[in-house]
Amino acid sequence: MEKNNLYPIFLKMYQLQTLIVGGGHVALEKLTFLLKSSPNANVHMVATFFREDTKALANRFDINMIVISYEESFLCDKDLIIAATNNRDVNKQIYKDAKSRNLLINVADTPELCDFYLGGVVTKGNIKIAISTNGKSPTMAKRLRQFFEEVIPEEINDLTQNLNQFTKTIKGDFALKVTKLNKLTKGLLTE
């Protein structure tokens, strides 16, 4: 049986410089996903054209957009690259350029040219759940995201805040704190 060996991480996107190359439907999808999860992300976009809805979203979040053909120099000072043009050759060139600079890259709809995938994300206050299908089925990730958004109550954030306050009051070493928190939260799974 195939196994998902990806390692999930949560990035502080406001500290990273992200470049999206493309301005069409796929670029809009990537930008929308990124801003939904990290509205304060530092994103720059480069494309020969931008759809009106892409421009509207980018303007709402103060995203820097440049109307020009891709050049390798656009990778300078960037940390994360998303290639989302409708030209496979351009996307492959972006991939090669990014790899030569040791940058992390996602080439839309080309899993073999991705260092990372943009999975489904559920956010409820301070709780964030990432869903990955190992790049096999974005539709499944979307359906799971919708399911978890429905079943996880908004009050989960209150519980998180309360547990945070309780944790600060526990005296003792790390092992004792873990034991007390495990005992306190055990009922969350049995009710």
Q: Same domain, yes or no, for 107 and 32?
A: yes
Q: Same domain, yes or no, for 171 and 141?
A: no
Q: Are 35 and 27 in contact (CB under 8 A)?
A: no
Task: Check whether 190 has a pLDDT greater than 80.
Answer: no
Q: Could you tell me if residue 94 is inside a domain?
A: yes
Task: Check whether 108 has a pLDDT greater than 70.
Answer: yes
Q: Same domain, yes or no, for 124 and 101?
A: no
CATH number (domain holding residue 51):
3.40.50.720
**Structural domain total, the chain:** 3
Average pLDDT over residues 91-119: 95
Q: Same domain, yes or no, for 81 and 108?
A: yes
Alpha-helical runs (H) found in 16-137: 25-37, 52-60, 88-100
Q: Same domain, yes or no, for 38 and 131?
A: no
Average pLDDT over residues 9-33: 96
Task: Check whether 94 has a pLDDT greater than 60.
Answer: yes
Q: Could you tell me if residue 12 is inside a domain?
A: no
Task: Check whether 129 has a pLDDT greater than 90.
Answer: yes
Alpha-helical runs (H) found in the chain: 25-37, 52-60, 88-100, 138-151, 156-169, 174-185, 187-190
Q: Same domain, yes or no, for 88 and 46?
A: yes
The larger pLDDT score, comparing residue 72 to residue 158, is at 72
Determine the residue type at 126.
N
Task: Check whether 104 has a pLDDT greater than 60.
Answer: yes
Q: Same domain, yes or no, for 24 and 113?
A: yes
Determine the residue type at 53.
D
Q: Which residues are catalytic?
A: 109
Q: Same domain, yes or no, for 169 and 131?
A: no
Burial tier of 117 (Cβ tally within 10 Å: 0-12, 13-18, 19+): middle
Rg of the chain over all Cα atoms, to the nearest angstrom = 20
How do the residues of the chain divide into helix, strand and coil, expressed in percent and rounded to 5? 45, 15, 40
**Residues spanned by the domain of 181:** 159-190
What is the rounded CA–CA span in Å between residue 23 and residue 63?
Answer: 12
Q: Could you tell me if residue 1 is inside a domain?
A: no
Q: Same domain, yes or no, for 134 and 109?
A: no
Q: Could you tell me if residue 77 is inside a domain?
A: yes
Q: Give residue-wise pLDDT tens across range 19-29.
A: 999 999 999 99
Supply the DSSP symbol for 112. G
Global confidence as pTM: 0.86
Q: Same domain, yes or no, for 110 and 129?
A: no
